[in-house]
Amino acid sequence: MKTIIYSTVKTPFGIMGITKSDKGLRRIYFPEEAPFIKALKKDFPNDKCVKNDIACGEIKKQIEEYFSGKRTTFDLDLDLQCPPFYKKVLKEVNNIPYGKTASYKYIAKRTGNSKAVRAAGSANANNPLPIVIPCHRIINTNGGLGGYGGNLQRKAYLLELEGIL
């Protein structure tokens, strides 16, 4: 049995949940996923979940700095748990700089399969680390916002925060 450490962080979207393993940041939850303990039990059924605000302090600090405009990149160890193709996509998404966007098609191309646009979109939609892995920076080829698991108003807010919209 592994131990998953969790805490919460105040954001402009409300209280978000954060989790980490011994390897790094594991999952970020949007406010509507509360109560977070219920979400944790669903996502980590075989692990021990322990609330520890101090152990999550650096994650909280960096997320708060991002929302206050003081941080443009995250410097956190990540424990990205997802299928190999999703991991490949999310690593490419993580390379998109603050204040820039890329298309689903561009990301698919960067993973070595320019025809995997829908699969790249699916990986993005299932990003377990929104905001830290900036899936909000992925837009449609025609310049439209596309989708966002955290809802389109949040995506627009994040793009505005970064000076894109």
CB 39 within 8 A of CB 29: yes
Distance CA 150, CA 30 (A): 7
Token pair of 58, please? 């650096």
Distance CA 20, CA 62 (A): 14
DSSP string, 90-157: HHHHTTSPTT--EEHHHHHHHTT-TT-HHHHHHHHHT-SSBTTB-GGGEE-TTS-----TT-HHHHHH
Note if 135 is an active site residue: yes
Residues identified as active-site: 135
